[in-house]
Amino acid sequence: MPDASDDVMGVITERIEERFQMPLADLRRAVTAAPDATPEATDVVHWHGLLAQAQQALDTAEGALVQALGAQPPDVLGDSVMELAHQVNAAVASRDGRAMVVNYLLDPNAPGKRGPGAWRGASAAARRAPALPTAAPTLPRTPATPVRGAVR
């Protein structure tokens, strides 16, 4: 039975193959032969490689954790087991972050992908305007009020 890691890698690999209309192995060879021909393909192949490395690190960390859990009584979690659990959590975060990058690279409608500064629905003037006011705020005019007990 395939595990969840196979599903993550399989789904992303299928999306890459669908996007570029070729098997991933062929895409890797094409990018290696001409890395500047299609920068988008080069980026996707690079990040897919990083994703595969992160998935391998996760598989290794999970295997070590399962082995450590099997060697201890179930009601006792020592520091070494907790450290392995933290390593698994870090590996999951790394894998998920890299998967998000690959998904972003594959999405032609992702924010920032429709030209420099292009936000859907924003006018050209709104895209050029500063995000925050840049002028100094004006202070309200209030009449001077005498302070009671002030020395004159």
pLDDT digits (tens, 9 = 90+) for 2-31: 455 568 899 999 999 999 999 999 999 999
CA 92, CA 60: separation in Å to the nearest integer? 11
pTM comes to 0.69
Contact 117/127 with Cβ under 8 angstroms? yes
pLDDT digits (tens, 9 = 90+) for 122-132: 555 555 555 66
Mean pLDDT across the chain: 83
- Residue predicted with more confidence, 71 or 10: 10
pLDDT value for 147: 64
Q: For residue 88, what are its two tokens?
A: 């698994």
